[in-house]
Amino acid sequence: MKKCIVTLLVLTLFLSGCWDRRELNELGIAMAIGIDKTENEYVISAQVVVPSEVSMKASTGRSAVTLYTATGETVYEAIRKMTKNAPRKMYPGHLQILVINEDLAKEGIAESLELLSRDWELRSDFYVVVAKDITATEVLNVTTPIENIPANKMFNSLKTSEKNWAGTEGVILDELVTNLISDGKEAVLTGIQVLGNKETGTSKQNVESITPSTRIEYDNLAVFKEDQLVGWLNEEESRGYSDITNTVTKTVTSITCPKEGKIIIDIFRYHSKIIGSINKGEPEVDIKIEAEGNIGEVLCSIDITEPETIDKLEKIYEEEVKEIIHQTIESVQKQYQSDIFGFGEAIHRSNPKEWNEMKEHWDEKFSDLTVNVHIDMKIRRIGTVNNSFLKKIKD
């Protein structure tokens, strides 16, 4: 027995304590971080949880978050300087979203991301977005209904939108860094903007009315070349990007009826594949798309019970989506010369030897690249009603 006790005492000498232990009441939980830049300094804003206001017992009805800002020559310095006016050290382990100012994005985002990709306290599953026509600080200063922590609203809205609406992309830090350093694939980020009165948006009054006077909304995709923002896709082009890159989960698409009016197709399955090849010494790409959907809304006089009608609608969908994709590719080729679609990666996969010879001049090759689009659409259901009552009214 004495030998056992002695052995246990000796073993305890080799056990380490919690040398990096920190109490929860010593930390400021940052849910969102914004990065702006003046001429020479970074402006960092942190949306921090107010513990008493997220507690059901101690809540007084005040804001559930507060915003701290600090400036510094580097992002790291600015974050540390927040302790000058914040009672707690910032803890980013629960970060939901990072907002980068548009002007800073145009200069380049690599330096801003260096600390965040290195910091061991940070998980890499937070979204990164670009503040469009507004500072990141102003975005983080807007109060939101339903979600009393605005960072949660921004995170959940983007997560929901990318699953149900083509044209928004939930890009996390790891994906962004991978695209920034990848050969043959440039980065995109979803834009975020503030609609309405910015001053009213900071007050409690903004969430006390049925219709908030100020709200946060996601808006289209920012195009990057290396680490610099070079432009924006419009809504149709943003959807075209999603169609090409296989990021559509569910969405709705409006197509033209054979004569006049519109039909809405509810897409529930979508798969696209990019295949690279070399044709007569030049790179070429084929995009193969398979889609399935149901008729969601009929805004024209048409008999959807006829198989021939369904065939026509499938062909119309294929042609109209193909046109959107071609317009999107042509716009990016001519305006930005930035391969955000990953066509270069497809060439690399299929023809690595040829890719190594052309990758240094891929911008020029991409601008003149031939892209063939093949779409196979199947409409599965027409809904619980056969023909729309609009057909009877117009007949």
Residue 302 has pLDDT above 50, yes or no: yes
Query: Strands, DSSP E only, in 12-152?
Result: 27-37, 42-49, 65-72, 89-91, 97-101, 127-131
Beta bridge partners of 192: 131, 218
d(CA 217, CA 229): 20
Q: What is the pLDDT of residue 39?
A: 84
Could you tell me if 313 and 253 are in contact, meaning their C-beta atoms sit under 8 angstroms apart?
no
Span of 58-67, 73-82, 128-137, 185-194 with lowest mean pLDDT: 58-67
The mean pLDDT of the chain is 88
Residue 14 has pLDDT above 80, yes or no: no
pLDDT digits (tens, 9 = 90+) for 341-389: 999 999 999 999 999 999 999 999 999 999 999 999 999 998 766 666 5
d(CA 368, CA 329): 10
Q: What share of the chain is helix, strand, coil (3-state, %, to 5)?
A: 40, 30, 30
Q: What is the pLDDT of residue 384?
A: 61
Average pLDDT over residues 110-123: 81
**DSSP β-ladder status, 251-256 and 262-279:** antiparallel
Amino acid symbol at 250: K
3-state secondary structure of 154: helix
d(CA 5, CA 214): 68
Please, what are the domains in the chain?
Answer: 25-232 (no CATH), 234-395 (3.30.300.210)
pLDDT digits (tens, 9 = 90+) for 245-255: 999 999 999 99
pLDDT digits (tens, 9 = 90+) for 18-51: 445 555 567 889 999 999 999 889 999 999 998 8
For the chain, the residue count is 395
Average pLDDT over residues 94-103: 96
Average pLDDT over residues 49-77: 80
d(CA 246, CA 250): 11
Closest to 192 measured CA to CA, from 148, 166, 161, 213: 161
Span of 84-98, 116-130, 209-223, 300-314 with lowest mean pLDDT: 116-130
Phi and psi torsions of 366, nearest 5°: -60, -40
Residue 54 has pLDDT above 90, yes or no: no
Q: What band does 256 get if pLDDT is binned at 50, 70 and 90?
A: very high
Residue 280 has pLDDT above 60, yes or no: yes
d(CA 360, CA 318): 35
d(CA 340, CA 322): 18
Put simply, whether the predicted model's pTM sits higher than 0.85 gets the answer: yes
Burial string for 364-385 (b: 16+ CB within 10 Å, else e) reads ebbeebebebebebebeebeee
Closest to 90 measured CA to CA, from 35, 147, 44: 44
Which tokens go with 298? 């009929």
Average pLDDT over residues 85-97: 87
Residue 13 has pLDDT above 50, yes or no: no
Q: What is the pLDDT of residue 76?
A: 87
Handedness of CA 121, 125, 129, 134 (dihedral sign): negative
The DSSP output letter for 1 is -
Q: What is the pLDDT of residue 40?
A: 86
Q: How far is CA 208 from CA 144, 150, 200, in A?
A: 10, 15, 11
The CB-side HSE value for 219 (13 A sphere, CA atoms) comes to: 14
Q: What is the pLDDT of residue 19?
A: 41
Q: What is the pLDDT of residue 5?
A: 52
pLDDT digits (tens, 9 = 90+) for 124-158: 889 999 999 999 999 999 999 888 899 999 999 99
The proportion of the chain whose per-residue pLDDT surpasses 90, expressed as a percent, equals 66
Q: What band does 120 get if pLDDT is binned at 50, 70 and 90?
A: low
Closest to 384 measured CA to CA, from 300, 266, 264, 296: 296
Q: What is the pLDDT of residue 198?
A: 76
d(CA 35, CA 131): 10
Q: What band does 208 get if pLDDT is binned at 50, 70 and 90?
A: confident
> Which residue's entry shows tokens 């939101």?
144
Average pLDDT over residues 162-186: 92
Phi-psi region of 184 (alpha: psi -120 to 50; beta: other; left: phi over 0): left
Q: How far is CA 330 from CA 290, 325, 334, 358, 371, in A?
A: 22, 9, 6, 21, 10
Q: What band does 57 get if pLDDT is binned at 50, 70 and 90?
A: low
Beta bridge partners of 263: 255, 298
The CB-side HSE value for 16 (13 A sphere, CA atoms) comes to: 4
DSSP annotation string for 124-145: S-SEEEEE-SS-HHHHHT---S
Q: What band does 303 get if pLDDT is binned at 50, 70 and 90?
A: confident
